[in-house]
């Protein structure tokens, strides 16, 4: 088994017209080429190449896909926001099982926030909003640490974006198991006292609303460099964790959630599980 990751932060490389700039296209192409080379070296039988929010929302997405394919031979498939939410929900369902009952899942990526809820493997509601930690940091914060006024204005913006989907969720009920997936939620949980990743995936980790509010008050006054010194946060996440925390707090508040269970599986596992299901005839 091999695990390889590289951070691209493409959403921070969108120009004024919403297009991925030359630097972003170069980084994406190099990452895909490296992944394809690793597939060959490891003797993998299949590659599942997909792109999410940053490419999905880019005004030059087709040109980006064409360039990557021309240079690497790999054609990325863009997942819609709803597909991303569905697949992440599937991963959470498979991790917790049927006995969990209704699952309400939140996932904060670099470019978007996915929200889903349901009793089955397919959520009753699955939505995607452009409220990713990297996107909001890039669009809203121009000082380090961010200005208090900007933080308060961003809070109001997030609340407004969440109002309608939150009402839809509440209309069918969000009681049951509340789950947070993605590196942002794992980092927030770690910063509020959850066990480190070295403790393994089966240790229960939670994120509480009071703990999150206290954390925001603390980290929002720190520079990115100082936040990077905190145990549990990587240097490539420290600059965007304030925006991520604001989205987490606002989404939990909008849905009336006081605690989230942190699920070690997320979109990647959902994509793999769906592919395995298709291979066995399960849809």
> pLDDT of 114-134, one tens digit each?
999 999 999 999 999 999 999
Beta strands at 77-78 and 50-51: parallel, antiparallel or unpaired: parallel
200 domain-assigned:
yes
State pLDDT tens for residues 150-168: 999 999 999 999 999 999 9
Whether residues 210 and 72 fall in one domain: no
214 domain-assigned:
yes
283 domain-assigned:
no
In 3D space, the residue among 243, 274, 261, 270 whose CA is nearest the CA of residue 108 turns out to be 243
Whether residues 136 and 24 fall in one domain: no
Whether residues 167 and 233 fall in one domain: yes
64 domain-assigned:
yes
281, pLDDT greater than 80:
no
Whether residues 240 and 114 fall in one domain: yes
| Percentage of the chain modeled with pLDDT above 70 | 98
Domain boundary among the residues 39, 56, 78 is at 78
| Percentage of the chain modeled with pLDDT above 90 | 87
Whether residues 112 and 232 fall in one domain: yes
Domain boundary among the residues 78, 99, 134 is at 78
**For 35-53, what is the mean pLDDT?**
92
Whether residues 64 and 105 fall in one domain: no
Prediction pTM value: 0.94
279, pLDDT greater than 80:
no
- Alpha carbon distance 191, 56 (integer Å): 31
Q: What is the pLDDT of residue 209?
A: 98
Whether residues 54 and 93 fall in one domain: no
Q: What is the pLDDT of residue 115?
A: 98
Q: What is the pLDDT of residue 4?
A: 81
**For 135-162, what is the mean pLDDT?**
97
Q: What is the pLDDT of residue 282?
A: 57
Average pLDDT, the chain: 94
Structural domain of 115: 81-269
């Amino acid at each position: 088994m091999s695990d390889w990751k590289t951070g691209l932060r493409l959403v921070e490389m969108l120009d004024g017209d919403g297009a991925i700039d030359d630097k972003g296209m170069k980084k994406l192409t190099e990452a895909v080429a490296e992944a394809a080379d690793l597939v060959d070296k490891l003797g993998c039988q299949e590659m599942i190449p997909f792109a999410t929010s940053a490419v999905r929302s880019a005004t030059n997405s087709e040109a980006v896909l064409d360039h990557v394919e021309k240079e690497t031979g790999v054609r990325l498939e863009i997942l819609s926001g709803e597909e991303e939410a569905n697949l992440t929900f599937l991963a959470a369902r498979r991790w917790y099982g049927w006995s969990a009952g209704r699952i309400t899942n939140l996932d904060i990526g670099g470019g978007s926030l996915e929200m889903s809820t349901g009793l089955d493997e397919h959520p009753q509601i699955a939505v995607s909003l452009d409220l990713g930690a990297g996107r909001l940091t890039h669009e809203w914060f121009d000082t380090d640490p961010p200005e208090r006024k900007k933080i308060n204005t961003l809070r109001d913006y997030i609340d407004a974006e969440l109002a309608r989907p939150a009402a839809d969720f509440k209309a069918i009920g969000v009681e049951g198991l509340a789950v947070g997936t993605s590196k942002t939620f794992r980092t927030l949980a770690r910063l509020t006292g959850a066990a480190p990743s070295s403790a393994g995936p089966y240790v229960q980790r939670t994120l509480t609303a009071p703990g999150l509010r206290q954390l925001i008050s603390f980290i929002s006054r720190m520079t990115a460099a100082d936040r990077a010194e905190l145990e549990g946060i990587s240097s490539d996440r420290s600059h965007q964790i304030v925006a991520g925390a604001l989205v987490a707090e606002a989404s939990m508040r909008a849905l009336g959630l006081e605690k989230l269970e942190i699920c070690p599986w997320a979109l990647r596992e959902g994509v793999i599980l769906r592919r395995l299901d298709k291979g066995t005839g399960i849809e």
